[in-house]
Structure 1
Amino acid sequence: MIRPQWEWALDDAEGRRLTEPVTPVFTAQYDAEQWLGEHWRELSAAGAVQASLLHDGTQAAPGVELRIP
């Protein structure tokens, strides 16, 4: 059985895809969204300014801004 895969793609301020930090792969959208809610500050501190949720490699929703106010 193939399970759906949800993961976050992270971009820097110039719109380039970051290879680090690496986010986990999830089998449920809820789990992916909850994880981002818990870790977005750390990702922002590592240089990510936007996160895009991917479902089996395809963007599933508009990107989420990770800037700390």
Structure 2
Amino acid sequence: MTWRWRYENANGGEVTGGSLPREVFPSQSDAESWLGENWRTLLGAGVEQVALLEDERTEYAGMSLRVE
């Protein structure tokens, strides 16, 4: 099993780009810890929300990177 983040715009469309990190994690907690350290960088790169995927299964989606 591998975990990864899918980067999305405000409408849920996937955001891709050469400068965005494509990290793969061995566990959900590793992925979540990484996001906690890197969400500001992603937001600055145009990512508005993320989805967490385990292999191709979506664990959760539509998690905003904006502080409410």
Q: Which range, TM-score by smaller chain?
A: 0.7 to 0.9
- Aligned residue pairs, count: 66
AA partner of residue 32 (structure 1): A
Aligned to 2:36: 37
Which residues of 2 match residues 38-53 of structure 1 at below 5 A?
38-53=37-52
Aligned to 1:22: 21
Aligned to 1:61: 60
CA contact (8 A) 1:41 1:68 kept: no
CA contact (8 A) 2:12 2:62 kept: no
Aligned to 1:8: 5
TM-score by length of 2: 0.85
| Stretches of structure 2 lacking an aligned partner (at least 5 in a row) | none
Which one has the bigger strand percentage?
2
Aligned-CA RMSD value: 1.4
CA contact (8 A) 1:44 1:68 kept: no
| Stretches of structure 1 lacking an aligned partner (at least 5 in a row) | none
- Specify the structure having the higher radius of gyration (Cα): 1
Write out per-residue CA displacement over residues 2-40 of structure 1, whole angstroms, 9 at most, x where no aligned residue.
Answer: xx1100001012322011213300011110000000000
